[in-house]
Structure formats: structure tokens, C-alpha cells
Chains A and B, each alone.
Chain A
């Protein structure tokens, strides 16, 4: 079965890759990957809780 990949997916906010297995024009299986990681949860640790909104807002 041929496998296709669409990366970047545009007109969305963020980075997304879609891979799909196609059989006779029908998608049999598909995988989505977010291709960007920043670790905001790790960055938020041990900070003043009153600042959390500003960090989390940037996700």
C-alpha cells in the first residue's frame, strides 16, 4: 500500500505532519505528528504561580 506524507499542514497554528496509507483511493490508516516541542510544562516548574497564565498563554 502506498504511503503518503503531508508536511507541513498549512492554515493551522502549529506544526503538523500527516502520514496516510492509501489503498485504491481509500485511506486505510493514518498517523498525525506534532513536529515541534518546547517543553512549556518543564519551563513552568518552580516558577511563581501568578506568572503561569503568561507562560501557558504562549502555547
Chain B
């Protein structure tokens, strides 16, 4: 917390981050964003000059899971860099002031840095009964979101709840909970769904903004392609077992012990797009599928309703039945690839359209 001053690199040097560690971070970001050769150098150059952006973090109908994810950037150097990239001026879970002083921190940013600050939203926004189901300082979440997101340079909806309502929005949605995209219109918004979202993707989005002056390219659902452009199933380390028809049948059986495919146990990897297999969690230690549990599809739209029951096998996966004939698999894969390309084109077209609209 504090004044935004000096470049990010200056601030890191003062805290004892070496040039080597800084370049390692830039390389990690270039890899995350899938930039071509020279990407790391470009990021380094930008961060050497870029002033620290001010960020405010709004919590609405949340469980604090994305905050935990944010604070779990637990490699000391990466954590320093992530927290130093930003001047976090308002975050209820970690800030010292409370009550009126806390509110002052927020509205000072809105007033004094209009159009220049970033907002992260965590949690859904309830619209039912005038928004009474979530209030901060006596104000409804929807009113706060409209003012704070409406005056920001960009809003990042972090986690499933801020994206499409998430768990509060699951049937029967008792509080009329929606995501930012459905609550606040006409704002610059990027979505990082997941339950929780991975801090690497938050950092990647902000680094992209600082390096190129724009948010990363998104798909038709407003998710950055660098993080949500690949199907979990296609990058899964257990994929070879799927292709060979080696499936876990019962928890703890021989196949489970040997790390076979979790598809029959209800894994939602074949329908979920996110970079978990590459980025993993807890400093790259592991991820759910490696740990022996199927993917629950947390980056998919309305996953609490569409991906449950979590232990029920999904049907009609393109390419399923590979073990039967290789040709069948090939056709399935081609169909899946074609579908992927169409999604990509739609995303690009809608992105182009939205940027044209911005220019008007």
C-alpha cells in the first residue's frame, strides 16, 4: 500500500531483487503470455520504465479464495514482484484502515485517479431486492461496482463469481447474483474465471497491459486466450492414458495408483479451457489432476450447474473411443481442432468489432 511512485524496476531494486531474478520473472511472463522470441526483453524494457499502476480490489459475494490465490504467489521473489507491480490502495482483507478511513482510501483513488487505476473484482454482485444481499459501508455492491469500475482504466473480474455469478449465482440463485459483465455495462473488462483464478494469469494480464498498453486478446466470453485458449484435456499429462483407453474405474484402484486417466471418474478436462496443466498451483508444485482428482471445470460458464454432478462422466467427448480405431480418433481430433479454430475466429472477430467500436 502507498503512493505510486518510481518505476516498477526501481522499486524492485530497492527491495533487493537482483537483475537475474527480474529477468527470470520477465521470461516466466513471456512464456505465460506465449510471446514470440524477444518477448522477455520487451517486458523487461517496459517494466523498467512503467510507473506502478494503482489497483483497488473489491470484494462482494466472495469466499476470499481469489485473495488467497493472489497472496499465494509464494515464491519469495515472484511474490515481491507481483506485489510490487502494483500499488494496492484498497483491499479489505489486507488493509490496515477500517470503516470510514478504508472508504476514504477507495474513493480518493476514484476521485484523484479517474481513468488511470485498475480494479480487481472478486465475488458476485446480487441484484435482487435492490442489492441488499451485499453491502459495504452501507452501500450496495452494485452501486459501488458502477462507480468504481465505471471510472477505472480497466476492470479485471477475478474468479468464477465475478465472471458469471459463480456459486451465489448457482440454481436457484437466491440473491439474483450476477458477474461484473452483467452488472456494469460499457466498461473495459477482462475476465479471469476459475475457482479460484490463478495469480499467474492475473500477473500476466497486468504485465501485458503495462508492456503493450492493451489488454490481452480475449475469446467470445471475454477470457484472455493466453490463459483460456487451450483445452485442459489436450495439455493433460494423463492424456496418453485416455488415448490408450486406460481409465481409473474406482477411487484407489490399480489404475488410480498408476496415474491413469480420470475421465470415467467425472473429470471435466475435456470441456474446460484453462492453462492449469502448464501453470499448475502452489509455485508449480501440482494441480488437481496430478493430485489424483478430476478437473471440476471451474473455468467453464456456470460450472456449478453445468459441470455438476462433479463425479458423473461427461458424454460425447470428441475423440473418445480412440482405442477402438486410430481413424476414428483422427476424425474426432480433426473435428475438435476445427471447432477450436471456429471459436478462435469468433473471438478474434468480436475483438476486432469491439476495438472498432472503441475507436468510434
Residue ranges of A at the interface with B (Cβ–Cβ < 8 Å): 5-15, 17, 35-40, 42-43, 47-48, 50-51, 54-55, 58-59
Contacting pair A15 B98 (CB below 8 A)? no
Contacts of B174 in A (CB 8 A): 38-39, 42-43
A-B contact sample (14 more), CB < 8 A, given A11-B96, A43-B167 = A5-B99, A7-B99, A7-B138, A8-B103, A15-B134, A15-B136, A35-B136, A36-B61, A38-B133, A39-B174, A43-B174, A50-B310, A51-B308, A58-B195
Q: How long is the Cα–Cα vector from A40 to B309 in the complex, in angstroms?
A: 16
State which of B63, B96, B175 has its C-beta within 8 Å of the C-beta of A59: B63
Given known contacts A10-B92, A10-B93, A10-B102, A15 and B308 CB-to-CB distance under 8 angstroms: no
Q: Is the interface of A mostly helix, strand, loop or mixed?
A: loop
Given known contacts A6-B98, A9-B98, A40-B167, A35 and B135 CB-to-CB distance under 8 angstroms: yes
Contact with A along B96-140 (1 / 0, CB 8 A): 111100110000000000000000000010100000011111100
Indicate if B89 sits at the interface (CB-CB under 8 A).
Answer: no
Contacts of B97 in A (CB 8 A): 10
Interface members, chain B 260-315 (any A CB < 8 Å): 296, 304, 308-312
Given known contacts A40-B167, A58-B63, A8 and B308 CB-to-CB distance under 8 angstroms: no
Contacts of A37 in B (CB 8 A): 126, 133-134, 175
Contacts of A14 in B (CB 8 A): 64
